[in-house]
Every structure is written in C-alpha cells, then in structure tokens.
Amino acid sequence: MDLKDLAAKFQLEGTVIDVKALGEGFINDTYTITTGEGAPNYILQRKNKRVFSPIPAMMENIQIVTSHIKKKVIAAGGDPLREVLTVVPATDGKLYFKDEDDEYWAVCILIEDTITYDAAETPELSYAGGKGIGKFQSMVSDLDAQLTDIIPGFHNIRYRFKQWDEVLAKDPVGRKAGLAEEIGWIESRKEEMLGFWELYENGSLPTRITHNDTKINNILFDKQGNVLCVIDLDTVLNSTALNDFGDAMRYYTNTGLEDDPNLDNVSMDMAIYKAFTKGYLEETISFLTDTEIEYLAFSAKYITYEQVLRFLMDYIDGDNYYKIKSPDHNLVRTKAQYKLLQSMEAQYEEMKKAVVETLAGLK
C-alpha cells in the first residue's frame, strides 16, 4: 500500500503533502507525514508484530499511559500536545490501522522544534535526562493500571535464560562452537542476575508502570534544553522502575558506541552516571522505596548484562531479532556491551556510593 494512502487511513488534519522515512530504529519502521499549513505533522510507524503482540493491546497501553500523563500536564498548566505523545486514531476510531498484508500502522502527532541527542555528552545533559525519566515515572506512579504484557519477559532474566537455553540447544546456524568464551560471560553471572530478579518476583521490589527503553534519544528536549517529553512508549509495561534507571545508565554512561568495534572506546563514565542519578532521584525520591534505591546501581549492571545476553543470543540464533548491518554485527554489539559491563563491575562500589551521597544531598 502506498504510504500516502496509509496516512489517509488516519484522522489527520490538513492535506498530506509527503511521507518520508525517518531514523533507523532496530524494531519498527518510522516515517514523517508532512501536511499543509496550519495542521500538525505526524509520525507514522509500522509496528513490529513479531516483537510486540498483540499490537492493538500495545496501542491501548500507550493510550492509557498518555491519557494519564495528559491530565497531569493540563493540571500543571503545561502543553498537552507537546509534553506528552498524542496518539491519532484511524478513521474507524481504532488506535491502529491493519493493512492488506496484516501489518499494523499507528500515528501520533509530531512534536515540532525539538532536539534529540544520540549520546549524553555532558553531565548537564545526563542530569536533564535523569529528570526526564524520573518525571515520567513520577507522573505514572499513581496510575493503577494493569497493562497488557505485549512483550513477555522483556527485562525478566529468568525468561531470558529460558530463551537462551533453547537457542543454545538448537544452535540453528552452528555458531555456538566458536563462542565458548562469550557464553562463559553469561553463564558465570547467572546466579547473581537471577538473585536480583527474585526481588521483583517476591515483591521486595514493587511493580510500577515503566518505560523500558530509556535511551537518551527517546527524550525530546525543547530548544532551551529542557526536557519536553519521553517518546517511544511501545514498551510501557508493569515492571520494576529499576529497568528504566538501569537501561538509561547502560546507554548514557557508555563512552563508546553500543556497537563500537574498538573496545578501547567503551567504558562507564562516572560523571555521567552521577549526574543522571541526581536528576533521577530529585524527581523520584518521594515515592521510591528503600529497596529500589538500594538496587539502583545494580540495575545498571543487570540491564547491561541482559543486553549482552540478548545480542549474543540473537547472534547464535542467526540474527532474527535485531536488524543488522554486517554479518557479525550482533557479535560486535555483544563484545562492546560486555566491555561496558566489565567497566561497571570495576566501578560498582563507587556507583553505590554515588547513590548514597546523592541521597544525602537531597535530604
């Protein structure tokens, strides 16, 4: 189906002038819809139904979360069209359109005049990001909703180990034999990681509404450098708030790239970590429990470890999940994320201390 025809399936204002590809997410395909004067522009996405299922429930999750945040933004005198995503329904009122190939499409309003960053280059930016994620969590902290688990076991390491064992047993493309060392990285930390997840399973860590993909380019900043809005809500789920802190730290503190071929570039930047922690805790201190706070530093290791596992597992599986740009891309990602994990492990005591000190400064 032609992209302009697809756009016409949604309740858009104005006339569609152009639909162009945007960015390069690993999961969805994203386009911008440009309309004529006086109407907003839009984001059109083909949602990946291999990853998220069922898509209608995912859109429902997003709607529940964004409507809740919208009320808060309005109550605070903010701009409900800029400070939170707005889902635009299809002409039949559904939150998605299903095309003739059974692909699902969804639209939201494009928030104009924003800045995004691919890396948290300065502590100031990291601090702002921490406030952004903290504020997001704070706004949904009183939302008592059971969202549909559209991506089962997303940050659940017990579930990941189950997938891991299955993939290793199958070894579908015969890559396992050459990966004894990398597989050892995963196996040697298994108990430690399961021990953390047990705290969630036994209720020591509370269940909250969480974003689950807190990289810095999922935050829109305004031209003045203030956090405007957290985007990419596909993975909003009921889980532990620590996923969001941990994933942000995996992403923000990396001095190299997620797939850096030069491991010398990769390490954890403590100043970036501290700045994020400060921004985050300023916004969340009022509701986080002592146990959540106690495990903040650990969550950075946890999510980074999980990402090592996921990239390596996808490589062994023959690259079915993440889009790749070269045959060994997932292995390159695995090694780079492992280097980051090692750097966090080396600095772990200091990471924990930074949380305690930040807290003391806030009291």
**Binding positions for Mg ion, rule: CB under 5 A:** 213, 232
Q: Which of 12, 16, 43, 51 binds ligand GN1 (CB under 6 A)?
A: 51
26, interface contact from ligand GN1, Mg ion, none, CB < 5-8 Å by kind:
ligand GN1
Which 218-237 positions form the footprint of ligand GN1 (CB under 6 A)?
232, 235
Number of residue whose CB is nearest Mg ion: 213
| Residue type for position 77 | G
- Which one of Mg ion, ligand GN1, none interacts with residue 258, CB within 5 to 8 A by kind? ligand GN1
Q: Which does 60 bind (CB under 5 to 8 A by kind): ligand GN1, Mg ion, none?
A: none
Integer Cα distance of 222 and 213 in angstroms: 20
277 touches ligand GN1 (CB under 6 A):
no
Interaction between residue 55 and ligand GN1 (CB under 6 A): no
Is residue 319 near ligand GN1 by the rule CB under 6 A? no
Residue 303 near residue 240 (C-beta atoms within 8 A)? no
DSSP structural state of residue 263: G
In the bound state with Mg ion, the residue whose beta carbon lies nearer, of 182 and 232, is: 232
Beta-bridge partners for 29: 46
* Cβ-based neighbours of 30, under 8 Å, separated by 6 or more: 21, 22, 23, 43, 44, 45
Nearer to Mg ion by Cβ, of 154 and 302: the residue is 154
Question: Distance between CA 238 and CA 206 in Å, rounded?
Answer: 10
Report the C-alpha gap between 291 and 295 in whole angstroms.
6
Does position 259 bind ligand GN1 by CB under 6 A? no
Distances (CA, A) of 153 to 26, 296, 316: 19, 20, 20
**What's the distance, Cα to Cα, between the start and end of the chain in Å?**
57
If we measure between CA atoms, which residue out of 135, 160, 120 comes closest to residue 302?
A: 160
How many chain residues touch ligand GN1 (CB under 6 A)? 9
Taken as a whole, the chain contains a residue count of: 363
CA gap 246, 46 in Å, rounded: 28
Q: In angstroms, rounded to a whole number, what is the distance separating the alpha carbons of residues 106 and 118? A: 24
Please name the residue that has the structure tokens 């450098």. 225
Q: Which is nearer to ligand GN1, 150 or 227 (CB)?
A: 150
| Partner touching 283 among ligand GN1, Mg ion, none, CB below 5 to 8 Å by kind | none
Q: Of 125 and 216, which CB lies nearer to ligand GN1 in the complex structure?
A: 216
The answer to whether 284 contacts ligand GN1 (rule: CB under 6 A) is no
307 touches which of Mg ion, ligand GN1, none (CB within 5 to 8 A by kind)? Answer: ligand GN1
Site map for ligand GN1, 155-174, x if CB under 6 A?
--------------------
Task: Give me 360's structure tokens.
Answer: 């003391």
Residue numbers 190-219 binding ligand GN1 by CB under 6 A = 213
Residue environment code for 127-144, b if the CB has 16+ CB neighbours within 10 A, otherwise e: bbbbbbbbbbbbbbbebe
Residues 15-44 binding ligand GN1 (CB under 6 A) are 25-27
Where does this chain bind ligand GN1 (CB under 6 A)?
A: 25-27, 51, 213, 232, 235, 258, 307
